[in-house]
Amino acid sequence: MKKILLLGSTGSIGVNSLNVIREYPEKFSVSVLTANNNIDILKKQIEEFHPERVVVVDKDKAEELKTSLKIKCDVLSGKDALCQVAANSDYDILLGAVVGFSGLAPTIEAIKRGKRIALANKETLVVAGEFIKNLLKEYNAELIPVDSEHSAIFQCLMGEKKGQVEKLIITASGGPFLKTDKEKFSSITVKEALNHPNWNMGNKITIDSATMMNKGLEVIEAKWLFGFEEKNIDVLIHPQSIIHSMVQFVDGSIKAQLGYPDMRLPIQFALTYPERFKNDLGRTDMPKLKELTFYEPDFNKYECLKLAYQVLKEGGTTPCVLNAANEIAVSRFLKEEIKFSDISRFIKEALNKFENVSKPNIETIFEYDRLTRGYVLSL
């Protein structure tokens, strides 16, 4: 029986994770759940999964939950509580499903305890990839990707030698604006940008998919997970999202992982690896797939993707600045304060504003995150 600490249980990945956990009551139990403020969903989850502790970051909402709970469960609150539960709760696997930079600090605590990290929160690796990689080694902890592309690559690499890999090919749906001209980007509405063709996800990653920043973040994530340079990581548009990513080897052979777009599969694999558990998820009906198509990405149209490759090359604090600028710009777009086309513009301005620090320590990363947020809020 593996005990799970689920960071961000009320989000899209969080709910899908509990859908997986529910199927295997003899294999998994939930020891901790966390939410930012959505206590209505969290309360139902507590009643079903009986965690020992929960975190509600918002203090008022935490008080509200405490007074309405009928079953025994510790309720913690405040920003530091995520780190606290990661540092001192009883669990085997930390499933990182919070969105954004807030996932970094608790992930560090879990690694320091040598836990398995099942990581959906890609921002952690984007901002502090090198630090996390070294920490995993130092504490002998393992990190298994949940992001579907990285789960696909992880599966394609099983049983292979790293030196025999030529390149990683990360597939991308292209989002809702694959056929929209760049000139129209300034008039795209929030509703249009939230309308993803293939995946149903949280708002932030859905906007990231529309700008293709999501793919940029995934290229950076792939570097730290698998140890390849940017010239060996390609992005390929594949609108059907059936091939989740591929690996090309030195003899020209290509391995791919396929399936319907459903996050329950990569979540399950990150929890059960190296085993595979039988499940009832829909089986891919190949004859019914009319076609699988592929295109090269347009880097001039998708500036966020270009910027992500640029910071991957530059390294240092630039990925952290890119990420923080993107988080703030996306949240401002969602509040209709700025245009869709301002997202990449603000990120560029932030990258110009802050001088790069190479080989930053973790304190510098937290500082650059804070400074960049303030700057992009002021634009």
| Contacts to ligand NDP by CB under 6 A | 8-14, 35-38, 57, 97-99, 102, 120-123, 147, 199, 201-205, 263
Nearest approach in angstroms of CB 218 to Mg ion is 6
Residue (9 or 268) nearer to ligand NDP, CB: 9
The contact set with Mg ion (CB under 5 A) reads 147-149
Binding site partner of 205, from ligand NDP, Mg ion, none, Cβ cut-off 5-8 A by kind: ligand NDP
Residue (36 or 317) nearer to ligand NDP, CB: 36
Nearest approach in angstroms of CB 102 to ligand NDP is 4
CA distances from 116 to 24, 186, 226 (A): 18, 43, 17
Residue (9 or 29) nearer to ligand NDP, CB: 9
Binding site partner of 97, from ligand NDP, Mg ion, none, Cβ cut-off 5-8 A by kind: ligand NDP
Binding site partner of 57, from Mg ion, ligand NDP, none, Cβ cut-off 5-8 A by kind: ligand NDP
The residue whose two tokens read 């390294």 is 315
Nearest approach in angstroms of CB 367 to ligand NDP is 18
Element (H, E) at 165: strand 165-172
Half-sphere exposure of 327 (CA within 13 A, CB side): 21
Q: Which strands, in side-by-side order, build the sheet including 142-145?
A: 74-77, 53-56, 28-35, 2-7, 93-96, 116-119, 142-145
Residue (263 or 304) nearer to ligand NDP, CB: 263
The closest of 113, 110, 15, 5 to 51, measured between CA atoms, is: 5
CA distance 5 to 33: 6
Nearest approach in angstroms of CB 250 to Mg ion is 26
Binding site partner of 81, from ligand NDP, Mg ion, none, Cβ cut-off 5-8 A by kind: none
- Determine phi and psi for 71, rounding to 5 degrees: -110, 160
The closest of 79, 88, 34, 31 to 59, measured between CA atoms, is: 79
